Amino acid sequence: MKPSGYMILMLLSATGFALGEAGIGPVREVIESRCLGCHDSDTSKGGIDLEQLLSARELKAAKTAALWQKVDKVVGAGEMPPKKKKPLNTEQKAQVGGWYKSFYVLKDGREHIGRSLLRRLSRYELINTLEDLLHVSLRQPYVYSPEFPAFLPSTLETILPPDAPGESGFYNDAEQLAGTRPPILKYSEAFDYALRVFSQDAEAREKIFGFKGVSPGLREAEAGRILQRFMERAWRGYRNPESEEVVLRAYRDTRRKEAPVASLLHAMKTGLLSPAFVYRIEMVMDKATPYPAGAHELACRLSYFLWASMPDAELFALAADGRLLDATVLAAQVDRMLKSPRRISLSEDFAGQWLGFGELWTNKAFYRNERWSRGIYDELLFFFDELIKSDRSILEIVDSDWIYQSDYTGVRTAGKGHSFAAKHGDILGSRSENPPGIQEQFYKPPRLIRIKSDQRGGLITTVGILRVTSAPEKTNPIRRGVWLLDRIIGRPMHAPENVPALSESEKVDGKKLTDLADILKAHTSKAVCVSCHKHIDPLGLGLENFDPFGKWRTSYRNKRPVRSRGVFPSGETFETPGRMKQVLLGEYREPIVKNIAGRMFAYALGRKLEPHDRPALRRICDTLGQDGFKINTLIAAIAGSRQFLCRQDQP
Amino acid sequence: MNRDSYLIPRRSFLRGVGAALALPSLEIMSPALSYGNSAAPKNLRLCVLFKGAGVNPNSWDINGATETEFTLSKLLSPLEKNKKDIVILRNIDADQRANGGHQSVTLTFMTGNVRKSRLVQRQSFDQVIADHVGGATPVKSLQLRSDTYLDANDPSENFLSFGADGRALPVEHNPEVVFNRLFKGFNNSGFRKRTTSVLDEVKESYQSIVRKASDRDRQVLEHYLQSVRDVERELDQFNNREDAARDSRMKRIQPVAAASDLAQRTRAMLDLIALAYWTDMTRVSTLMMAHTETRSTYDFIGINDELHSLSHFVRTRNRSSGLSGYDKINHWYVQQFSYFLEKLKSLDDDEGSVFDNSIVLFGSGIKHGDYHSVSDLPLVLSGGGGGQILPGRYVKYPNTPNGNLLLKLMDMMGVKKEQYGNSTGLLPGISEKANLAPKYVDDGSWKILKDEGGKLLVKGMLKISVKADDLNLYLVHLSGGEILELRTGFGTIHNLRIDACVGSVVELEGEYKVTDGRKVITKVKRCKRL
């Protein structure tokens, strides 16, 4: 065994686990003696070849790092060696974990936050930002009306191409947005449209220009001041005299031929097309270790995390004199921002993508009719927002004794009207103008009710989630099980390669598989299936009482009874979805909390989590556990993490 | 073209530079580079004007006419000045499976088939044509609607055009957006110039930012510059491919203002189609003038009831504007059709007018507004079709599937197909005289065949009463001039599709009562078109 160069560094490290004497040496011994029996290059059980891993030279290479991460994870969780083999002792476990931590989590023995990424605005953020910047509404009114049926996107959504989610699972993923070419022409068209709406709105114009009407006598100095103010807001505190001069000159050039207002509009467009608007450019100190981000940077990070939009006047003011850098002020701002209707972005953008219910709105396959679709979407939206508004436990996502119920879903759960806090009227009006009266006439938003039900409660058993996890006409317990494992428990499953689908494969035990339960039973009798399906099937089966449209059923269309009985890998059994959710919360509480916290952390940072984020995530989860898993504690803990507060310019 | 003829008040159009920079979508720009690859007949255009919700047959139908000698009916009267420009088609039938409902009538009209599923359909015939000729123009085809009503329960009714993948194509309802797409894109040299100058500013701004950025940020920002360069490259390609004729026509087009009601929107859309044809921006377009279940009202002609509810005129005859309102609205639509034809005639093409080189189909997917019968659809064909349409005629076919008409339209546009939808062959009598002998000749056999005390079996020509105050009255004409009245409930007419047999000789079995010495059929058991 040859010590590598990296190991020398590790030996010098001052903090972290006890590393043992020789870096990877003890780990190598553990793996050679306990793992290679199954995972050498010849056997490679489950496709895992640890012999090759031990000989890998580039330890930072993505593939190698990912495999080490897996080793660390299964060893740490006690999943490997498998049950029938002798487990690793505490020291051996610590050696594997300690080496991984010192090499992949820490940098020079210290925690760090990885390189900060330049973030381009996602489409959702761009539209919000234009609305807030120009003081206009650019969305479809949030009302039901025959004039605004489903799938009619706003003009800006027609112009701007949709984003693709990145590895973080979200549209605001910095790497993904950086890797996609910015659609300059579409931006230009979108800004034209937004500025046109703005120019036709006297109130909005007065807010930015300071005058109504055409102002033919506008002096150049005054126009300059208007544009300076505009750029400060549009570029969110980013200063660059040369870029500013480009905008001012655009005004002067246009002014020779055009009226003052038209010239201002042209200069504004030039400002919007500048990278300073489209990207969130942060001031850089070029340091290899984390250092506090500036006040303007922090204001932006906060506003895009909590509002998916630009900072408001108060945040700008606190950034201007640096007060925002004070931890108490920051905490108070988080609190204030979560009270603002703009927090709806956390439900729309974060939860909508995480739980996939945003698709109810964008994917025609889930469509039934306008009110139904809006109803099931709003049940989820309002539920998630209620968590924030009333600062409730994130575990209520799994089960709760309250729900939001819409009149249009075809599903009615008995319950009493209820109110934790105020009504949701503020949300309906948050991002758009809401013509009074229309909403009540055509569409009643879902109501908050207290329920006592073994069938409903939490987000998992809402019509919307049951719909997005179904095929068009029938339920798919595998899909539902995989969804729960991935989205709720945080264990993404991938369709097995080279394993034929059971329904198409040979008969099992001489019996042809016809019944769903038979197929699922076969999963547990075939070794190739069981390692994953022992986790998937019970979860999916537990939801079989819900049809593809979320309605309760006790038999299938062919009159066969629904069997939603299941056994968890631990041996716990259940016969109702309510009981299943309880077992879920009992057995999977830790991964559920970690998953939710991790998802939100990734959304806040605009990137997927890396090994170096692990200590921070653990602290966030600890804080959360000490405060009853309250969601606003989670949000505040994320906003208070070094990842969120600091910059680092090298990996 | 007269600059001022392009209607619409211009005051609400923002004349500032910001607005002047609206940009086209990429789909408009790219195909233009592959100019002149199509083998379609020279410059022919196709336009489908769909007016849903049927008609009142009494007001639409022409009676007692020959192919060349005919008097326009009440609803067709706005076409008086276009009488030599049109071919009125009778007895073109949609798939009978669509009879009685809404769900399929838009689709049968455009595809010759009843619908496959809620979301996936057969490729509509206009798109088959667009696939063939669309490569020759900057825009493959235009899908427009001037009626803003959209039905939420049955999305497929909202669309006329379906692509090769069977999915509905997006429909634009905002004339301003259409205008920008057509006339402010890269095909417009002025637009190219303005875009170039904006890009110069962007580059300058970019340079000053990149100078201060970190290495890593610079790598990301690089994409921004790359994107600018891409646009510049495309601009260059257009700059080298001048189309002088188009450019000069583009310069004469005035911007469009926001249309505030259905009337303005309809005019604007018709103008846009005409101008798009004139500048050869596209050769295929569909316009949904009225959704078949539309809730639109027509207060600009004094009708404040919804068209769809008025169209059910048998059942809603007591509605304030009632049948007369329904007729007024349909009359107004035919006026718009006439306006469009005149517009096409006013625009010069390379040879003749745009009208001479166009094919325009105006019609509805159902005949009777209340019964939703799908026989004898209200259809008018117009345009010179590049010499392929012999106009000034009224053609009463034997009952013929509408697929035959669609096949003929495709054929004229250069798409040769054996079969399409419910077609059984190419529709004759479009490019040449039909010279059809009347299908039904009174051979003396139209009479009561059986009469057993209140029950009868009768053969005769079924007609509908022309009395507006007696809407549910049908008449069976017998040899020798005798006429039997048929008065029965809505349900019977609807279920037995009796309305679809109007104009045909039928064999009818039912019961009668004697009133004032006349036999009146009150119950129908069976009604068969012979």
- Mutation for A interface: B11, B12, B13, B23, most A CBs within 10 A: B23
Domain encompassing residue A19: 5-105
Report yes or no: B120 at the A interface, CB cutoff 8 Å: no
- Residue count of chain B, please give it: 530
pLDDT at A514: 56
Give me chain B's average pLDDT, please.
82
- HSE-CB of B115 using CA atoms within 13 angstroms: 22
Whether A102 has a pLDDT exceeding 50, the answer reads: yes
Lowest mean pLDDT across A430-439, B328-337, B435-444: A430-439
**H/E stretch holding A299:** helix A295-306
Q: What does the pLDDT average to over A254-280?
A: 94
Lowest mean pLDDT across A568-572, B195-199, B306-310, B336-340: A568-572
A133 contact partners, CB below 8 Å, separation of at least 6: A233, A234, A310
The reply to whether A169 and A250 lie within a common domain is yes
Whether B27 has a pLDDT exceeding 80, the answer reads: no
pLDDT at A648: 93
The reply to whether A145 and A258 lie within a common domain is yes
Whether A152 has a pLDDT exceeding 70, the answer reads: no
DSSP state letter for B358: E
The pLDDT tens digits of the residues spanning B131-183 come to 999 877 777 889 999 987 776 556 678 889 988 877 777 778 878 778 877 88
* B201/A250 touch (CB, cutoff 8 Å), yes or no: yes
pLDDT at A503: 45
* A284/B208 touch (CB, cutoff 8 Å), yes or no: no
Whether B83 has a pLDDT exceeding 50, the answer reads: yes
The pLDDT tens digits of the residues spanning B359-408 come to 999 999 999 888 888 889 999 999 999 999 999 999 999 889 999 999 99
Lowest mean pLDDT across A57-66, A155-164, B305-314, B407-416: A57-66
Q: Which residue does chain A place closest to B221, by CA atoms?
A: A275
The reply to whether A181 and A80 lie within a common domain is no
Residue A267 domain flag: yes
Of the three residues A280, A314, A346, the one that is the final residue of a domain is A280
Report the CATH number of the B448-529 domain.
Answer: 2.40.50.200
Distance from CA of A264 to the nearest CA of B (A): 9
Residues in chain A within 8 Å Cβ distance of B11: none
Give CA–CA dist B339/B345, Å, rounded: 10
pLDDT at B84: 95
The pLDDT tens digits of the residues spanning A490-499 come to 987 765 544 4
Amino acid identity at A189: E
Lowest mean pLDDT across A65-74, A256-265, A313-322, B391-400: A65-74
The reply to whether A12 and A49 lie within a common domain is yes
Q: Which residue does chain B place closest to A268, by CA atoms?
A: B18
Domain total in chain A = 2
The reply to whether A92 and A130 lie within a common domain is no
Of A324 and A418, more confident: A324
pLDDT at B154: 63
Residues in chain B within 8 Å Cβ distance of A117: 216, 220
Distance from CA of A353 to the nearest CA of B (A): 24
- Mutation for B interface: A185, A214, A231, A648, most B CBs within 10 A: A185
B16, B21, B177 member nearest A199 (Cβ): B16
For chain B, positions 242-271, list CB contacts with chain A under 8 A: none
pLDDT at B335: 97
- Mutation for A interface: B120, B181, B210, B217, most A CBs within 10 A: B217
B17, B26, B209 member nearest A266 (Cβ): B17
Residues in chain A within 8 Å Cβ distance of B18: 191-192, 195-196, 199, 262, 265-266, 268-269
Residue A87 domain flag: yes
The total of other beta-carbon atoms located within 10 Å of residue B11's CB is 7
Tokens, residue B382: 């117009």
The reply to whether A80 and A149 lie within a common domain is no
* A150/B152 touch (CB, cutoff 8 Å), yes or no: yes
* B17/A258 touch (CB, cutoff 8 Å), yes or no: yes
Report yes or no: B206 at the A interface, CB cutoff 8 Å: yes
**Helices A631-639/A327-339 angle, 10° precision:** 140
The pLDDT tens digits of the residues spanning A557-583 come to 888 888 777 787 778 888 888 888 998
The pLDDT tens digits of the residues spanning A192-246 come to 989 999 998 899 999 999 887 767 788 999 999 999 999 999 999 999 999 999 9
A96 contact partners, CB below 8 Å, separation of at least 6: A27, A30, A31, A71, A72, A75, A76, A88
Residue A164 domain flag: yes
The CATH number for B11-185+245-412, chosen from 3.40.720.10, 1.10.540.10, 3.30.460.80, 3.20.20.70, is 3.40.720.10
Residue A110 domain flag: no
Residue A465 domain flag: no
Residues in chain B within 8 Å Cβ distance of A115: 216
Residue A472 domain flag: no
Q: Which residue does chain B place closest to A248, by CA atoms?
A: B201
Whether A16 has a pLDDT exceeding 50, the answer reads: no
Residues in chain B within 8 Å Cβ distance of A473: none
The reply to whether A175 and A88 lie within a common domain is no
For chain B, positions 319-348, list CB contacts with chain A under 8 A: none
Q: CA dist B82 to B76, B277, B354, Å?
A: 10, 20, 15
Q: Are B131 and B117 in contact (CB under 8 A)?
A: no
Give CA–CA dist B95/A644, Å, rounded: 64
Of B320 and A68, more confident: A68
pLDDT at A478: 82
Residues in chain B within 8 Å Cβ distance of A192: 18-19, 21-23
Helix (H, G, I), strand (E, B) or coil at A403: strand
Shortest CA distance to A477 belongs to which of A554, A553, A541?
A: A541
pLDDT at B40: 40
Lowest mean pLDDT across A547-556, B22-31, B415-424: B22-31
The pLDDT tens digits of the residues spanning A594-620 come to 999 999 999 999 999 999 999 999 999
Of the three residues A264, A280, A296, the one that is the final residue of a domain is A280
* A240/B15 touch (CB, cutoff 8 Å), yes or no: no
Residues in chain A within 8 Å Cβ distance of B152: 146, 149-150, 369-371
Rounded to two decimals, the ipTM of the complex is 0.77
Q: Which residue does chain A place closest to B147, by CA atoms?
A: A147
The reply to whether A79 and A170 lie within a common domain is no
The reply to whether A179 and A276 lie within a common domain is yes
* A199/B231 touch (CB, cutoff 8 Å), yes or no: no
pLDDT at B319: 52
* A193/B201 touch (CB, cutoff 8 Å), yes or no: no
pLDDT at A419: 65
Of the three residues A261, A280, A299, the one that is the final residue of a domain is A280
Residue A412 domain flag: no
The reply to whether A85 and A130 lie within a common domain is no
* A275/B155 touch (CB, cutoff 8 Å), yes or no: no
Report yes or no: B425 at the A interface, CB cutoff 8 Å: no
Q: Are B247 and B193 in contact (CB under 8 A)?
A: no
The pLDDT tens digits of the residues spanning B206-264 come to 999 999 888 888 888 988 888 888 788 777 766 665 677 777 787 788 776 667 788 98
The reply to whether A95 and A191 lie within a common domain is no
Task: Provide the pLDDT confidence category of residue A302 given band limits of 50, 70 and 90.
Answer: very high
The reply to whether A139 and A233 lie within a common domain is yes
Residue A272 domain flag: yes
* B17/A286 touch (CB, cutoff 8 Å), yes or no: no
Tokens, residue A266: 């042209």
